Chain A
Amino acid sequence: MKINHNLAVSESGFLFNPGTGESFTVNPIGAEIIAMLRNGKSRTEIIDSITQLYQVDRNSFEKDLQDFNGILKTYNLLEKDE
């Protein structure tokens, strides 16, 4: 799971994909996850980090993360696995 490395994410949660010209808004947790993906963090590392910071159990977050990844994929924001 790798995020497009040339995405521009602003502090206000505005995300621009220069490759396609599409713009997105993302909420703070979404932005945090995208930042971790850019830094090459693994799925497990992301889950560890978020569940430590927020009031959410692993199962619930794992499900939401999977859903979020699905959407990132739909929006073509993830790099294709080589």
Chain B
Amino acid sequence: MSRPIYTIAVTGLNAIDSPGPGVAVIRGLREAASFDVRIIGLAYESLEPGIYMHDLVDITYLIPYPTAGADALLERLLYINSHEKLDIIIPNFDAELYSFMKLEAKLRDSGIHMFLPTFQQFEERHKVNLSTFGKKYGIDVPEGIAVSDSSEIHKHADKLDFPMMIKGKWYDAYVAYNIEQARTYFNKIAAKWGLPVILQKFVHGTEYNVTGLGDGEGNVIAAVPMRKQFITDKGKAWAGISIDDKKLLELTTRFVSATKWRGGFELEMMKSGDGKYFLMEINPRIPAWVYLAVGVGQNIPEALALLALGQKPEPYKTFDVGKLFIRYSWDMIVDRSEFENFSVKGEL
């Protein structure tokens, strides 16, 4: 029996030193057991490496930044759809998710499917609301406060103590060891990602991550825990190993069933010295290291694509423990004319 061919658009082609998940997601899709794919890249900048990986990406289109608003994005996506006839879009950036969620119904009318968290899930798990989220679902989270003015840092310094995490609403996190550093980071983050900025209690310990997929009805379709083996100066895992940790999987199940999580996710956990897990952050999308999950037997991008199309994929129950992913850089040689074409026409 011949397998269906789906046209799937993917963002996050910035496979750089702090990578977007797009290229890893595409590798998962290309290895899918149940379908073949035609991959449409969606890029924000003309130097995103994925644009030039012609063995992975069939054609890439430039799309407007989220700051341009959902209407501008819709117009561009409909234009792309008129040329490519998209079945599925998998957005991979936190900052763009809101716009895509807003367009979910409209895109469905044009035959384009997505499988995204609901607005409630998206808002609840937001860094700004994480403290409330922890209380509501009985999950330990480090104390956090959202502030809109750097003068407020002083007020909360006693309670949170130094070192203190300073985090942006969308991206960026810094450890501040004193109030001056905290103010500097506050200003840096506020200028880039806007207000509020989150002050979070620093938890000492070892970092563990889980990537997974919820079906929107409370069931875990996939979940793979990983311990970071090597962390870059940007805080990204350069190598990690799949582990068998019942407690982490239990927490993941509780998270998915309590929130009825819809879509891919990454839980960033910190295991403190006394063995207690703190949920540091919930990323409402597939992480860049998702290819480890594919490699150990849980093809999350494939299952997500099937869910998007309204199918009910079998939940993955097992995975290989003790497999490593080791990330590496790769220099492509690209002719100037390709860069020129994409820069001028917005398509390649």
Contact = CB atoms under 8 A, between A and B. Distances in A.
A76 to B, nearest CB: 19
Nearest to A21: B336
Contacts of A14: 340, 343-344
B343 A25 contact: yes
Interface in B317-348: 336, 339-341, 343-345
Interface string A5-16: 000001011101
A25 B344 contact: yes
B343 A23 contact: yes
Contact of B336 (A13, A16, A25): A16
A23 B341 CA distance: 12
B342 to A, nearest CB: 10
Nearest to B345: A12
A25 B339 CA distance: 12
A13 B339 CA distance: 13
Interface residues of B, number: 7
A contact residues, range: under 10
A12 B344 contact: yes
Contacts of B341: 12
B346 to A, nearest CB: 11
B230 to A, nearest CB: 33
A14 B339 CA distance: 10
Contacts of B336: 16, 23
Contacts, number: 17
A75 to B, nearest CB: 16
A82 to B, nearest CB: 30
Contacts of A23: 336, 339-340, 343
Most buried by A among B339, B340, B341, B345: B340
Nearest to A13: B344
A10 B340 CA distance: 9
Nearest to B46: A23
Interface in B7-52: none
Contacts of B339: 23
Nearest to A14: B340
Nearest to A11: B344
B338 to A, nearest CB: 11
Contacts of B344: 12-14, 25
A13 B345 CA distance: 11
A22 B205 CA distance: 46
A14 B44 CA distance: 19
A25 B345 CA distance: 11
A69 B344 CA distance: 23
A12 B347 CA distance: 13
Nearest to B337: A10
Nearest to A10: B340
A16 B341 CA distance: 13
Contacts of A16: 336, 340
Interface of B: 336, 339-341, 343-345
17 contacts: A10-B340, A12-B340, A12-B341, A12-B344, A12-B345, A13-B344, A14-B340, A14-B343, A14-B344, A16-B336, A16-B340, A23-B336, A23-B339, A23-B340, A23-B343, A25-B343, A25-B344
The 10 closest A-B CB pairs, nearest first, are: A14-B340, A12-B344, A14-B344, A16-B336, A10-B340, A25-B344, A13-B344, A14-B343, A25-B343, A12-B340
Given A10-B340, A16-B336, A16-B340, 6 more contacts: A12-B344, A12-B345, A13-B344, A14-B343, A23-B340, A25-B344
